[in-house]
């Protein structure tokens, strides 16, 4: 087992992209491989969220080398994460790369709705710019296909958002390989955003042949499986009854016990490597084929500071393979 710190001048490739960064597709966006996910800042599913702490979390992310931020129209009932992120980035000189998503929103009864009609996508994209206080974002994703709208139509709207100059590049999230193929036939993308973690690798496996053939980057969410894989939630953790994580199958019954068995082994490995479980999990994820970026959600500075240090862990192939064997 080995771990070492990468020097600041070490490069991942001949284009002199630093080892802790990656170029998205063939774009000029060179992003940190650990990125900050802004969903927790919406306060919709995370408990005890305070905007000032969220702003400090964005600043902590910038301070530790993260330059990639992921938000969405639906991260907040009325754009809370956009406003917090916009305020945090405005108050600090930075060169942040911001990705946004449209196609999902909350109705007046706080029910989540998918709407991939071009009219809504364009309207929501324009609103997000004013919430963030910018004229353009770097990436605009279709958040998720709308089953009532042909994906080609939604793709055309994302293309138009880019043509209007509201976003520099297009992307798409929550698609299978077939949907992705149909989307890119109308609108080329630099990234696809699927879920990915130690226990859920199917989406990335499905997309990998397509993304490799087209030079598209996979920006993965739920790498920490909503905190489960941070290792901080112990087997006997007493969840607040309002904690929405309890509705996920992996936070229940036999699946929870099985996950904790794996976590017990990861705790031993991380002790050997001198890192935390969260860092080991993020580092392992970034070593998996096709995984370009690990989105790490955080509502407090200490959480993103911990996850960001995964960039300093270089897992040997042997340790990575040993961890993979724990998961079968
Ligand atoms: N495209 C999509 O449809 C989609 C879907 C989901 C997420 N996303 C994106 O992906 C990002 C990541 O997903 P996520 O935020 O839902 O979940 P996540 O990154 O898997 O987990 C984040 C949660 O884990 C806990 N955590 C994070 N770092 C920790 C640390 N170092 N130590 C201990 N606990 C830690 C925190 O929860 P507690 O403090 O509450 O324990 C935090 O809210 C989102 O923020 C969003 O940007 C996209």
State the CATH number of the domain containing residue 318.
3.20.20.100
Could you list the residue range(s) of the whole structural domain that residue 136 is in? 21-326
Which residue, judged by its Cα, is nearest atom 1 of ligand 1?
A: 173
Q: Does the residue 154 lie in any domain?
A: yes
Largest CA distance in the chain: 54
Q: Is the CB of 146 under 6 A from ligand 1?
A: no
If you average pLDDT over residues 221-240, what whole number do you get?
96
Q: Does the residue 218 lie in any domain?
A: yes
pLDDT at 8 over 70: no
Q: Does the residue 11 lie in any domain?
A: no
Q: Does the residue 72 lie in any domain?
A: yes
If you average pLDDT over residues 108-132, what whole number do you get?
97
Which contacts of 283-288 are long-range, i.e. CB under 8 A and separated by 24 or more positions?
283/310, 283/311, 283/313, 283/314, 283/315, 284/198, 284/315, 284/320, 284/323, 284/324, 285/196, 285/197, 285/198, 285/220, 285/223, 286/33, 286/34, 286/310, 287/315, 287/320, 288/196, 288/201, 288/204
Of all residues in the chain, the percent with pLDDT exceeding 90 is: 91
Q: Does the residue 51 lie in any domain?
A: yes
Looking from the CA of residue 224, the nearest atom of ligand 1 is 20
Measured in angstroms, how far is the CA atom of residue 17 from the centroid of ligand 1?
Answer: 26
Confidence of residue 3 (pLDDT cuts 50, 70, 90): very low
Measured in angstroms, how far is the CA atom of residue 186 from the centroid of ligand 1?
Answer: 31
Confidence of residue 38 (pLDDT cuts 50, 70, 90): very high
Q: Does the residue 5 lie in any domain?
A: no
pTM confidence score: 0.95
Q: Which of 12-21, 156-165, 268-277, 285-294 has the lowest mean pLDDT?
A: 12-21
The better pLDDT of the pair 55, 5 is held by 55
Confidence of residue 10 (pLDDT cuts 50, 70, 90): very low
Q: Does the residue 16 lie in any domain?
A: no
pLDDT at 6 over 70: no
Q: Does the residue 3 lie in any domain?
A: no
CA distance 195 to 146: 18
pLDDT tens sequence across 282-307: 999 999 999 999 999 999 999 999 99
Q: Is the CB of 42 under 6 A from ligand 1?
A: no
pLDDT attached to residue 15 = 65
Q: Is the CB of 217 under 6 A from ligand 1?
A: no
Q: For the chain, what is the domain count?
A: 1
Asked if 75 and 81 count as a contact pair (C-beta separation under 8 A), the reply is yes
Write the CA distances from 45 to 40, 54, 231, 299, integer angstroms: 7, 14, 19, 11
Nearest by Cα to 234 from 260, 255, 271: 260
């Amino acid at each position: 087992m080995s771990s070492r710190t990468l020097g600041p001048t070490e490069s991942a490739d001949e284009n002199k992209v630093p080892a802790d960064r990656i170029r998205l597709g063939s774009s000029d966006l060179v992003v940190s491989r650990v990125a900050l996910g802004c969903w927790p800042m919406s306060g919709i599913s995370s408990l005890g969220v305070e905007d000032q702490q969220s702003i400090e979390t964005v600043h902590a992310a910038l301070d530790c080398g993260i330059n990639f931020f992921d938000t969405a129209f639906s991260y907040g009932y009325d754009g809370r994460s956009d406003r917090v992120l916009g305020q945090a980035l405005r108050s600090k000189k930075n060169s942040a790369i911001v990705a946004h998503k449209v196609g999902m929103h909350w109705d007046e009864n706080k029910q989540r709705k998918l709407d991939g009609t071009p009219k809504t996508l364009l309207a929501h994209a324009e609103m997000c710019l004013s919430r963030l206080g910018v004229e353009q974002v770097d990436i605009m994703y279709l958040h998720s296909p709308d089953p009532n709208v042909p994906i080609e139509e939604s793709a055309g709207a994302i293309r138009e958002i880019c043509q209007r100059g509201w976003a520099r590049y297009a992307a798409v999230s929550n698609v299978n390989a077939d949907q992705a193929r149909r989307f890119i036939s109308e609108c080329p993308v630099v990234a696809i955003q699927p879920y990915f973690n130690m226990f859920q690798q199917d989406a990335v496996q499905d997309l990998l042949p397509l993304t490799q053939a087209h030079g598209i980057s996979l920006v993965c969410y739920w790498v920490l499986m909503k905190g489960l894989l941070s290792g901080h939630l112990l087997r006997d953790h007493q969840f607040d009854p309002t904690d929405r994580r309890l509705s996920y199958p992996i936070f229940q019954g036999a699946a929870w016990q099985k996950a904790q068995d794996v976590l017990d082994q990861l705790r031993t490995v991380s002790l050997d490597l001198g890192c935390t479980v969260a860092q080991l999990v993020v580092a392992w994820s970034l070593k998996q084929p096709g995984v370009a970026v690990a989105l790490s959600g955080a509502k407090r500075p200490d959480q993103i500071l911990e996850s960001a240090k995964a960039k300093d862990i270089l897992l040997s192939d042997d340790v990575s393979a040993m961890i993979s064997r724990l998961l079968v």
